Amino acid sequence: DVKVTQSSRYLVKRTGEKVFLECVQDMDHENMFWYRQDPGLGLRLIYFSYDVKMKEKGDIPEGYSVSREKKERFSLILESASTNQTSMYLCASRSSGSLLTGELFFGEGSRLTVL
């Protein structure tokens, strides 16, 4: 069974802390994505990566950075967490072999609360 695994389902952090959200996929997908999901705002793209060490900003990259050192792993980093980053974070992956037709595979999500 194909899988996207997010390392932490629930996290509670304090303002100013550095936060790492890890995502691992076992499908050998080139493309990986980080979204945040907030009530009334839907899913918003933070960053995506189309290959190892390659990344592009999404719609809301401010306050976030990413790392993709290995093909299967895509990390989202909050350098200094703030309360407005309290949200559900969703990781997804997708094959680049079919850019038009290939679906996204999602992890279970990481719910982050920043106090």
Partner 1 sequence: AQSVTQLDSHVSVSEGTPVLLRCNYSSSYSPSLFWYVQHPNKGLQLLLKYTSAATLVKGINGFEAEFKKSETSFHLTKPSAHMSDAAEYFCVVIYSSASKIIFGSGTRLSIRP
Q: Which residues would be at the binding site for partner 1 (CB under 8 A)?
A: 4, 42-43, 45, 88, 90, 92, 99-101, 103-109, 111
Q: Which is nearer to partner 1, 62 or 103 (CB)?
A: 103
- Report the nearest approach of partner 1 to the CB of residue 101 (Å): 4
- Report the nearest approach of partner 1 to the CB of residue 7 (Å): 14
Beta pairing, strands 65-70 & 105-106:
unpaired
Question: Taking a C-beta distance cutoff of 8 angstroms, is the pair 77, 18 a contact?
Answer: yes
Q: Which is nearer to partner 1, 67 or 106 (CB)?
A: 106
| Residue labelled with tokens 């974070």 | 89
- Report the nearest approach of partner 1 to the CB of residue 108 (Å): 5
Q: Which is nearer to partner 1, 9 or 18 (CB)?
A: 9
- Report the nearest approach of partner 1 to the CB of residue 63 (Å): 21
Strand partners, 5: 24
How many contiguous H segments (helices) and E segments (strands) does the chain have?
A: 0, 11
Q: Which is nearer to partner 1, 16 or 54 (CB)?
A: 54
Q: How far apart are CA 65 and CA 18, in angstroms?
A: 11
Dihedral of the CA atoms 23, 28, 32, 34 (nearest 10)?
A: -20
